[in-house]
Amino acid sequence: MKTLFKTITCKVVLRVLYRALKVLVVKESRIRREFSSFKEGFTIRITLSEGGPSVFMMKKNGNLVFSMKGEDSDLDLKFKSVDSAFLVFTGMMGISRAYAEHRIVVKGDITDTMTLVRIIDIAEAYLFPHIMTRRILRSVPNKERSSLSVYRMVLLGF
Residue that wins the pLDDT comparison between 65 and 95: 65
pTM of the entire structure?
0.85
What is the dotted CATH code of the domain comprising 2-141? 3.30.1050.10
- pLDDT of 67 reads 80
The 10s digit of each residue's pLDDT in 117-158 is 889 888 888 888 887 777 777 777 788 888 888 888 888 876
- Mean local confidence (pLDDT), 35-50: 91
d(CA 135, CA 109): 28
- pLDDT of 158 reads 61
Report the candidate in 96, 105, 146 with the shortest Cα–Cα distance to residue 126: 146
Q: Where are the domains of the chain?
A: 2-141
Cβ count near 44 (within 10 Å): 24
- pLDDT of 70 reads 64
